[in-house]
Structure formats: C-alpha cells, structure tokens
C-alpha cells in the first residue's frame, strides 16, 4: 500500500510540475507576441502645429521638406488649419527630431502634438472592438 | 438498425447532391447578374501591394484603402473633427500596429464589407453601438450632424486626392452607403 501511495504522489508531483511549466511557457509566449513592438513595417502618424500663419507657398515648402526626410512616408499640410501631418517609419526616424529640425531649418514656430493618455482613451469610435473581436485578435496574435 | 443507418446515409447523400446542384446552377447567374460595388472598385483581382513589397492585395481593397488613408490625412489636419481622432497619433498600439495603421485597417475592413467584399470581416462594434456613449466609453459625447458633415467632406477630399471626383459613379455609390449610416452615427 505504501509504495503505491508513494508512486501516486510522485506521479502527481511530476504532472503538476509539467502543467505549471507549460503554463509558464504559454504566459511568456503570450507576453512576447502581444507586447507592442516597433518593426520595419510599423508606420506611425505625427502632427505638427504651426504657431504662425502659413500660406500655400509655405505649405508646399513644408511638404517638400518633409518628403525629403529619411523615413517619412506620406505628407499632408493644411494651410487653413496650420497643421502638417505625416506618416513615418519609427524604425528609421523620430518625429520629434524631425519637428525640431523643421523648426530650426525652415525657421517656423512649430510644435509636435502628442496626445495625452486620457485623450487616447476617448474618441475615434472605429477603434472600439466587440469582445468577440478582441478574443479573436488575441488568439490570432498567439498562434 | 441497419435500415436506419442506410436511410441516414441516403438522406445525407441526397442533401449533399441537391446542394451541389443548387450551387453549380446558381453561381454563374449570381456572379454575372449581381456585381457589387466592391467588384466595380476592382474586386478580388490580385495586384501587387505598393505598401508592402512582395505582397499581393485584392484590387478592390487597395482602392478602398487608398481612399481611407487619404481621408485619414485630411481628418488629422481638420480642426473641426481631429480632436476625436487623437488616437491616430499613437506610435504603437495593439500588437505592432500604430493608431494610424489600426484605424486604416478597421475603416478599410468596414467599407470592404459594406461594399460587398466576401474575403474580409469587420470586427468592430455596430455603427449604433460605436457612436453611443452608453455602449462605447470612447465616445465622451454624441456626434451631431455637423460632425458627420465634416467627415463626409473629408471623405470627398480624400477621394479627390486619389483622383476620384465626387461626381464619379463609384464615389456617388460609396457616398450613398456612408450617408445611409447618418441615422446610426448621429443619435441626437
């Protein structure tokens, strides 16, 4: 009776170790695949507000200048709202550095707009996902 | 018992045969008679994806994504509605997608499905739920007709930037679909 009990306990211990080991590996895997990361294909958008009036000629000059920066993908400058938006590859360049360079190089009073955490929680209804879609997305990320 | 099994097999085979006949006889008629808006935008014809070298993309989706991306640029620089789209400026959000990429993908999926694409699904909330502060905490207030008009105006500008004038039949059809959502978006 005693050796049988001993064997049962040993089996239970091994099974538990294997189970927790696999669970740990799964947790690490989920962390790695869902952790936000920037890679060569990540495309981000940045916004620069001009603290001075700009005309069509300025808008064209700013657009052309931004297009010449390494890592910048697409540019749009609205003279009426005094805003320039551009997409860029964070893997290659830094939007804040581009904004500083633009201010100094072209001599414009320009400021990069970075939203606060609270602002990011609000607005843009298209970003709201149903629970089923969130689960689907998580599973898709894991496997 | 044997008779029951044989009967079940016979019924299954009959149903399968009937379905096969139905599909084969109805498919050609459906494909020629009911062309969707997605088909007229290029449909499922595979073309090279200019944004991802070496990848292919359905032509219909590429057309829609181009207009969506241009519209996003116009929105991001439009002070009348860009406060609601600050999420565009996040560098990395879910997975390795930035706010721009996530919004582009979501809106493109939504319009693809709305225009009749069969190979994509929209995983977001319904238009009514997405714009109702009670069911979507991201909405701090209800959208009004002015917001919706601004969105439509930016969509028109976005299409124009892609060489699609507001008078083009394809754009008129797309605008009708968007306008049909006004009642779900504007809940005041």
Q: How many domains does chain A have?
A: 2
CA distances from A46 to A80, A89, A140 (A): 18, 11, 28
Q: Which tokens in the block code for residue A42?
A: 């990540």
Regarding whether A50 and A90 lie in a shared domain, the answer is: yes
Regarding whether A85 and A51 lie in a shared domain, the answer is: yes
Q: Give the per-residue pLDDT at A93.
A: 94
Regarding whether A21 and A60 lie in a shared domain, the answer is: no
Regarding whether A92 and A54 lie in a shared domain, the answer is: yes
Distance between CA atoms of A46 and B31, rounded to whole angstroms?
Answer: 43
> Does the beta-carbon distance from A43 to B131 stay under 8 Å?
no
Regarding whether A23 and A49 lie in a shared domain, the answer is: no
B134 shares contact with chain A (CB less than 8 Å): no
Q: Give the per-residue pLDDT at A37.
A: 76
pLDDT above 70 (res A34): no
Which residue in chain A has the smallest CA separation from B123? A133
Regarding whether A58 and A102 lie in a shared domain, the answer is: yes
Distance between CA atoms of A53 and A48, rounded to whole angstroms?
Answer: 13
Match 């996902």 to its residue by tokens: A129
Q: Which segments in chain B show pLDDT lower than 70?
A: 1-33, 93-96
Q: Does residue A143 lie within any of the structural domains?
A: no
Regarding whether A49 and A20 lie in a shared domain, the answer is: no
- Please, are residues B97 and A39 in contact by the beta-carbon 8 Å criterion? no
Which residues in B lie closer than 8 A to residue A132 (C-beta atoms)? 123
Match 């603290």 to its residue by tokens: A51
Mean pLDDT of chain A: 86
Q: Give the per-residue pLDDT at A77.
A: 96
Grade residue A130 by pLDDT with cuts at 50, 70 and 90.
low
Q: Does residue A30 lie within any of the structural domains?
A: yes
Q: Does residue A130 lie within any of the structural domains?
A: no
Percent of residues, chain A, with pLDDT higher than 70: 83
Looking up residue A100, the CATH number of its domain turns out to be: 3.30.70.100
Regarding whether A52 and A25 lie in a shared domain, the answer is: no
Between these two residues, A11 and B10, which has the higher pLDDT value?
A11
Q: Give the per-residue pLDDT at B2.
A: 46
Global ipTM: 0.73
Looking at the complex, report in whole angstroms how far the Cα of residue A126 sits from the nearest Cα belonging to chain B. 7
Q: Please count the residues of chain A.
A: 143
Which residues in A lie closer than 8 A to residue B187 (C-beta atoms)? none
User: What range does the domain containing A14 cover?
Assistant: 1-35
Q: Give the per-residue pLDDT at A21.
A: 92
Q: Does residue A51 lie within any of the structural domains?
A: yes
Regarding whether A110 and A49 lie in a shared domain, the answer is: yes
pLDDT above 90 (res A127): no
Which residues in A lie closer than 8 A to residue B136 (C-beta atoms)? 125, 128
SS3 B168: coil
Which residue in chain B has the smallest CA separation from A136? B123
- Please, are residues A113 and B67 in contact by the beta-carbon 8 Å criterion? no
What number of C-beta contacts closer than 8 Å exist between A and B?
Answer: 141
Regarding whether A69 and A22 lie in a shared domain, the answer is: no
Q: Which tokens in the block code for residue B113?
A: 């499905």
B142 shares contact with chain A (CB less than 8 Å): no
Backbone angles phi, psi at B163, to 5 degrees: 75, 20
Which residues in A lie closer than 8 A to residue B82 (C-beta atoms)? 47, 83
Between these two residues, A105 and B136, which has the higher pLDDT value?
A105
Q: Does residue A142 lie within any of the structural domains?
A: no
Grade residue A17 by pLDDT with cuts at 50, 70 and 90.
very high
Regarding whether A86 and A54 lie in a shared domain, the answer is: yes
Distance between CA atoms of B59 and A121, rounded to whole angstroms?
Answer: 34
Q: Does residue A8 lie within any of the structural domains?
A: yes
Q: Does residue A22 lie within any of the structural domains?
A: yes
> Which residues 21-80 of B are in CB contact (within 8 Å) with A?
52, 69, 72-74, 76-79
Regarding whether A52 and A107 lie in a shared domain, the answer is: yes
Q: Does residue A106 lie within any of the structural domains?
A: yes
- Quick count: other Cβ atoms within 10 Å of Cβ B182? 15
Percent of residues, chain A, with pLDDT higher than 90: 58
């Amino acid at each position: 009776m005693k050796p049988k009990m001993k064997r049962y306990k040993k089996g239970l211990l091994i099974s538990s170790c294997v189970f927790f080991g696999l669970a740990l590996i799964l947790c690490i895997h989920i962390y790695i695949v869902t952790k936000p990361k920037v890679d060569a294909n990540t495309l981000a958008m940045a916004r620069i507000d001009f603290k001075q009036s700009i005309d069509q000629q300025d808008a064209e000059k700013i657009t052309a200048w931004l297009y010449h920066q390494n890592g910048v993908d697409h540019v749009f400058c609205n003279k009426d709202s005094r805003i320039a938006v551009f997409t860029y590859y964070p893997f290659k360049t830094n939007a804040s550095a581009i904004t500083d360079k633009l201010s100094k190089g072209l001599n414009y009073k320009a400021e990069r707009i970075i939203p606060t955490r609270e602002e990011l929680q609000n607005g843009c209804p298209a970003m709201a996902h149903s629970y089923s879609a969130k689960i689907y997305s998580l599973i898709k990320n894991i496997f | 018992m044997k008779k029951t099994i044989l009967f079940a097999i016979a019924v299954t085979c009959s149903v399968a045969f009937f379905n096969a006949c139905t599909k084969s006889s109805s498919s050609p008629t459906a494909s020629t008679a009911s062309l969707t808006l997605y088909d007229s935008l290029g449909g499922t014809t595979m073309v090279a994806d200019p944004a991802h070298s070496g990848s292919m993309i359905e032509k219909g989706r590429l057309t829609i994504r181009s207009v969506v991306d241009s519209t996003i640029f116009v929105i991001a620089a439009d002070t009348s509605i860009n406060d609601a789209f600050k999420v565009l400026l996040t560098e990395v959000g879910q997975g390795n997608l930035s706010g721009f990429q996530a919004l582009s993908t979501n809106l493109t999926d939504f319009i693809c499905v709305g225009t009749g694409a069969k190979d994509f699904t929209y995983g977001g909330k319904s238009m009514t739920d997405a714009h109702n502060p009670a069911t979507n905490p991201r909405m701090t207030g209800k959208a009004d007709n002015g917001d919706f008009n601004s969105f439509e105006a930016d969509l028109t500008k976005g299409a124009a930037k892609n060489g699609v004038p507001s008078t083009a039949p394809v754009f008129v059809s797309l605008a009708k679909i968007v306008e049909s959502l006004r009642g779900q978006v504007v809940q005041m």
